Chain A
Protein backbone atom coordinates (compact mmCIF):
# COMPACT_ATOMS: atom_id res chain seq x y z
CA UNK A 1 0.00 0.00 0.00
CA UNK A 2 1.53 3.31 -1.09
CA UNK A 3 1.70 6.12 1.46
CA UNK A 4 0.77 9.70 0.57
CA UNK A 5 4.45 10.67 0.74
CA UNK A 6 5.45 7.83 -1.55
CA UNK A 7 2.79 8.79 -4.11
CA UNK A 8 3.89 12.40 -3.92
CA UNK A 9 7.58 11.72 -4.45
CA UNK A 10 6.95 9.27 -7.31
CA UNK A 11 4.63 11.75 -9.04
CA UNK A 12 7.23 14.45 -8.62
CA UNK A 13 9.89 12.17 -10.07
CA UNK A 14 7.65 11.26 -13.04
CA UNK A 15 6.95 14.94 -13.72
CA UNK A 16 10.71 15.63 -13.99
CA UNK A 17 11.59 12.44 -15.88
CA UNK A 18 8.33 11.57 -17.69
CA UNK A 19 9.84 9.28 -20.35
CA UNK A 20 12.36 7.23 -18.36
CA UNK A 21 12.23 3.44 -18.68
CA UNK A 22 12.48 1.25 -15.56
CA UNK A 23 16.14 0.58 -16.40
CA UNK A 24 16.81 4.37 -16.66
CA UNK A 25 15.04 5.06 -13.36
CA UNK A 26 17.17 2.34 -11.77
CA UNK A 27 20.34 3.86 -13.19
CA UNK A 28 19.41 7.38 -12.04
CA UNK A 29 18.23 6.43 -8.55
CA UNK A 30 20.61 3.50 -7.97
CA UNK A 31 17.62 1.34 -6.94
CA UNK A 32 17.54 -2.21 -8.34
CA UNK A 33 15.33 -2.47 -11.50
CA UNK A 34 13.10 -5.15 -9.96
CA UNK A 35 12.48 -2.87 -6.95
CA UNK A 36 11.74 0.07 -9.27
CA UNK A 37 9.18 -2.10 -11.08
CA UNK A 38 7.55 -3.05 -7.77
CA UNK A 39 7.56 0.52 -6.42
CA UNK A 40 5.93 1.82 -9.58
CA UNK A 41 3.30 -0.87 -9.16
CA UNK A 42 2.35 0.10 -5.64
CA UNK A 43 4.76 -1.78 -3.36
CA UNK A 44 5.68 0.02 -0.16
CA UNK A 45 8.91 2.06 -0.39
CA UNK A 46 11.81 1.68 2.08
CA UNK A 47 13.17 4.81 3.76
CA UNK A 48 16.52 4.36 2.00
CA UNK A 49 14.74 4.27 -1.37
CA UNK A 50 12.75 7.36 -0.47
CA UNK A 51 15.99 9.14 0.47
CA UNK A 52 17.66 8.18 -2.81
CA UNK A 53 14.78 9.58 -4.87
CA UNK A 54 14.55 12.68 -2.67
CA UNK A 55 18.28 13.32 -3.21
CA UNK A 56 17.82 13.11 -7.00
CA UNK A 57 14.91 15.57 -6.85
CA UNK A 58 16.86 18.04 -4.68
CA UNK A 59 19.88 17.86 -6.99
CA UNK A 60 17.61 18.41 -9.96
CA UNK A 61 16.13 21.52 -8.25
CA UNK A 62 19.62 22.87 -7.55
CA UNK A 63 20.72 22.19 -11.13
CA UNK A 64 17.61 23.94 -12.48
CA UNK A 65 18.23 26.99 -10.25
CA UNK A 66 21.87 27.05 -11.34
CA UNK A 67 20.97 26.91 -15.03
CA UNK A 68 18.16 29.43 -14.62
CA UNK A 69 20.48 31.81 -12.77
CA UNK A 70 23.15 31.78 -15.47
CA UNK A 71 20.64 31.95 -18.30
CA UNK A 72 19.04 35.01 -16.66
CA UNK A 73 22.43 36.61 -16.02
CA UNK A 74 23.27 36.16 -19.68
CA UNK A 75 20.00 37.75 -20.79
CA UNK A 76 20.47 40.64 -18.35
CA UNK A 77 23.89 41.42 -19.82
CA UNK A 78 22.43 41.40 -23.32
CA UNK A 79 19.29 43.42 -22.62
CA UNK A 80 19.87 45.77 -19.65
CA UNK A 81 21.85 48.99 -19.45
CA UNK A 82 24.86 49.47 -17.16
CA UNK A 83 22.83 51.18 -14.45
CA UNK A 84 20.49 48.19 -14.18
CA UNK A 85 23.41 45.77 -14.23
CA UNK A 86 24.96 47.73 -11.35
CA UNK A 87 21.68 47.43 -9.42
CA UNK A 88 21.88 43.66 -9.86
CA UNK A 89 25.52 43.63 -8.76
CA UNK A 90 24.58 45.63 -5.66
CA UNK A 91 21.75 43.21 -4.90
CA UNK A 92 24.11 40.25 -5.16
CA UNK A 93 26.72 41.98 -2.99
CA UNK A 94 24.01 42.68 -0.44
CA UNK A 95 22.91 39.04 -0.35
CA UNK A 96 26.51 37.87 0.01
CA UNK A 97 27.76 40.40 2.55
CA UNK A 98 24.62 40.78 4.63
CA UNK A 99 23.27 37.26 4.59
CA UNK A 100 26.11 34.76 4.29
CA UNK A 101 28.25 36.54 6.84
CA UNK A 102 25.51 36.47 9.44
CA UNK A 103 25.13 32.73 8.89
CA UNK A 104 28.80 32.21 9.60
CA UNK A 105 29.66 30.93 6.12
Chain B
Protein backbone atom coordinates (compact mmCIF):
# COMPACT_ATOMS: atom_id res chain seq x y z
CA UNK B 1 0.00 0.00 0.00
CA UNK B 2 1.15 3.56 -0.68
CA UNK B 3 -0.17 7.02 0.12
CA UNK B 4 -1.52 9.38 -2.49
CA UNK B 5 -0.40 13.02 -2.14
CA UNK B 6 -3.87 13.96 -0.82
CA UNK B 7 -3.73 11.24 1.85
CA UNK B 8 -0.28 12.49 2.91
CA UNK B 9 -1.68 16.05 3.03
CA UNK B 10 -4.53 14.91 5.32
CA UNK B 11 -2.15 13.00 7.59
CA UNK B 12 0.17 16.03 7.83
CA UNK B 13 -2.80 18.22 8.75
CA UNK B 14 -4.05 15.81 11.41
CA UNK B 15 -0.57 15.34 12.84
CA UNK B 16 -0.67 18.96 14.08
CA UNK B 17 -4.21 18.71 15.55
CA UNK B 18 -7.35 16.57 15.37
CA UNK B 19 -10.09 18.10 13.23
CA UNK B 20 -13.67 17.63 12.17
CA UNK B 21 -14.70 17.69 8.51
CA UNK B 22 -15.30 21.44 8.38
CA UNK B 23 -11.96 22.18 10.03
CA UNK B 24 -10.22 19.85 7.61
CA UNK B 25 -11.92 21.55 4.67
CA UNK B 26 -10.78 24.91 5.99
CA UNK B 27 -7.23 23.70 6.64
CA UNK B 28 -6.76 21.82 3.38
CA UNK B 29 -8.86 23.92 0.99
CA UNK B 30 -9.86 20.77 -0.90
CA UNK B 31 -13.14 20.00 -2.60
CA UNK B 32 -15.39 18.12 -0.18
CA UNK B 33 -15.84 15.07 -2.39
CA UNK B 34 -12.07 14.59 -2.77
CA UNK B 35 -11.57 14.93 0.96
CA UNK B 36 -14.39 12.55 1.88
CA UNK B 37 -13.14 9.89 -0.54
CA UNK B 38 -9.62 10.04 0.85
CA UNK B 39 -10.83 10.11 4.46
CA UNK B 40 -12.92 7.01 3.98
CA UNK B 41 -9.96 5.18 2.39
CA UNK B 42 -7.69 6.18 5.29
CA UNK B 43 -10.27 4.98 7.83
CA UNK B 44 -10.76 1.75 5.91
CA UNK B 45 -7.00 1.16 6.05
CA UNK B 46 -7.05 1.86 9.82
CA UNK B 47 -4.75 4.88 9.52
CA UNK B 48 -7.39 7.27 10.87
CA UNK B 49 -10.15 6.92 13.42
CA UNK B 50 -13.21 9.10 13.90
CA UNK B 51 -14.56 9.95 17.35
CA UNK B 52 -17.44 12.37 17.91
CA UNK B 53 -17.08 13.87 14.42
CA UNK B 54 -13.34 14.45 14.87
CA UNK B 55 -10.70 12.70 12.80
CA UNK B 56 -7.59 11.42 14.60
CA UNK B 57 -4.45 9.63 13.45
CA UNK B 58 -4.77 6.04 14.64
CA UNK B 59 -2.12 6.02 17.37
CA UNK B 60 -2.12 2.24 17.43
CA UNK B 61 -0.89 2.38 13.86
CA UNK B 62 1.63 5.23 14.09
CA UNK B 63 4.54 3.03 13.01
CA UNK B 64 2.62 1.94 9.94
CA UNK B 65 1.79 5.59 9.15
CA UNK B 66 5.47 6.59 9.49
CA UNK B 67 6.47 3.67 7.29
CA UNK B 68 3.94 4.69 4.65
CA UNK B 69 5.05 8.33 4.69
CA UNK B 70 8.61 7.28 3.91
CA UNK B 71 7.65 4.47 1.52
CA UNK B 72 9.45 4.84 -1.84
CA UNK B 73 6.23 4.79 -3.85
CA UNK B 74 4.50 7.34 -1.59
CA UNK B 75 7.50 9.67 -1.79
CA UNK B 76 7.64 9.22 -5.54
CA UNK B 77 3.94 10.12 -5.79
CA UNK B 78 4.48 13.27 -3.76
CA UNK B 79 7.49 14.30 -5.81
CA UNK B 80 5.62 13.58 -9.04
CA UNK B 81 2.64 15.66 -7.97
CA UNK B 82 4.93 18.62 -7.16
CA UNK B 83 7.02 18.36 -10.32
CA UNK B 84 4.06 17.62 -12.62
CA UNK B 85 2.26 20.66 -11.26
CA UNK B 86 5.39 22.83 -11.66
CA UNK B 87 5.95 21.54 -15.20
CA UNK B 88 2.34 22.17 -16.18
CA UNK B 89 2.41 25.68 -14.76
CA UNK B 90 5.75 26.39 -16.45
CA UNK B 91 4.55 25.15 -19.85
CA UNK B 92 1.28 27.06 -19.67
CA UNK B 93 2.32 30.28 -17.93
CA UNK B 94 6.15 30.29 -17.98
CA UNK B 95 5.85 30.77 -14.25
CA UNK B 96 6.62 28.81 -11.10
CA UNK B 97 9.85 27.22 -12.27
CA UNK B 98 13.17 28.86 -13.10
CA UNK B 99 15.51 27.03 -15.40
CA UNK B 100 18.94 28.51 -16.22
CA UNK B 101 21.53 26.98 -18.49
CA UNK B 102 24.83 28.55 -17.41
CA UNK B 103 28.58 27.99 -17.48
CA UNK B 104 30.06 28.06 -13.97
CA UNK B 105 33.69 28.08 -12.92
CA UNK B 106 34.67 26.04 -9.88
CA UNK B 107 34.50 29.25 -7.79
CA UNK B 108 31.09 30.17 -9.24
CA UNK B 109 29.79 26.69 -8.42
CA UNK B 110 31.06 26.91 -4.85
CA UNK B 111 29.46 30.33 -4.46
CA UNK B 112 26.14 29.07 -5.86
CA UNK B 113 26.19 26.07 -3.54
CA UNK B 114 26.96 28.31 -0.58
CA UNK B 115 24.03 30.62 -1.45
CA UNK B 116 21.75 27.60 -1.78
CA UNK B 117 22.93 26.29 1.61
CA UNK B 118 22.01 29.66 3.14
CA UNK B 119 18.60 29.47 1.51
CA UNK B 120 18.15 25.91 2.75
CA UNK B 121 19.12 26.91 6.27
CA UNK B 122 16.69 29.87 6.19
CA UNK B 123 13.85 27.65 4.95
CA UNK B 124 14.66 24.97 7.55
CA UNK B 125 14.05 27.53 10.29
CA UNK B 126 10.73 28.40 8.69
CA UNK B 127 9.76 24.74 8.34
CA UNK B 128 9.04 24.44 12.06
CA UNK B 129 5.31 23.82 12.24
CA UNK B 130 3.14 26.80 12.98
CA UNK B 131 -0.03 25.19 14.26
CA UNK B 132 -2.04 28.38 14.06
CA UNK B 133 -1.71 28.56 10.27
CA UNK B 134 -3.50 26.53 7.62
CA UNK B 135 -1.44 23.78 6.04
CA UNK B 136 -2.82 24.89 2.65
CA UNK B 137 -0.95 28.19 2.96
CA UNK B 138 2.44 26.46 3.13
CA UNK B 139 4.81 27.20 0.25
CA UNK B 140 6.69 24.42 -1.49
CA UNK B 141 10.19 25.29 -2.72
CA UNK B 142 12.28 23.11 -4.97
CA UNK B 143 15.69 23.54 -6.54
CA UNK B 144 18.58 21.48 -7.77
CA UNK B 145 21.09 21.28 -10.58
CA UNK B 146 22.70 18.85 -12.99
CA UNK B 147 25.02 19.18 -15.95
CA UNK B 148 23.45 19.27 -19.38
CA UNK B 149 25.11 15.95 -20.23
CA UNK B 150 23.72 14.27 -17.09
CA UNK B 151 20.19 15.18 -18.18
CA UNK B 152 20.67 13.96 -21.74
CA UNK B 153 22.54 10.81 -20.76
CA UNK B 154 19.69 9.95 -18.42
CA UNK B 155 17.35 10.01 -21.43
CA UNK B 156 19.56 7.45 -23.17
CA UNK B 157 20.23 5.27 -20.14
Contact = CB atoms under 8 A, between A and B. Distances in A.
Contacts of A94: 76-77, 80
Contacts, number: 29
A83 B154 CA distance: 12
Interface stretch (B32-40, B109-117, B125-133): B32-40
Interface of A: 83, 90-91, 94, 97-98, 101-104
A94 B73 CA distance: 9
Contact of B5 (A83, A98, A103): A98
B81 A98 contact: yes
Contacts of A103: 33-34
A98 B4 contact: yes
A41 to B, nearest CB: 41
The secondary-structure label for the interface of chain B is helix
Contacts of B38: 101-102
A97 B4 contact: yes
Interface of B: 2, 4-6, 33-34, 37-38, 41, 73, 76-77, 80-81, 157
A80 B157 CA distance: 10
Task: Report whether over half of chain A's contact residues are helix, strand or loop; otherwise say mixed.
Answer: helix
Given A98-B77, A103-B34, 16 more contacts: A83-B157, A91-B80, A94-B77, A94-B80, A97-B77, A98-B6, A98-B81, A101-B4, A101-B37, A101-B38, A102-B4, A102-B6, A102-B34, A103-B33, A104-B34, A104-B37
A103 B70 CA distance: 25
Contacts of B41: 101
Q: Which 8 A-B pairs have the closest CB atoms?
A: A102-B34, A98-B4, A104-B37, A104-B33, A94-B80, A97-B4, A102-B6, A94-B77
B33 to A, nearest CB: 5
A1 B2 CA distance: 58
A104 B35 CA distance: 10
A104 B77 CA distance: 19
A102 B81 contact: no
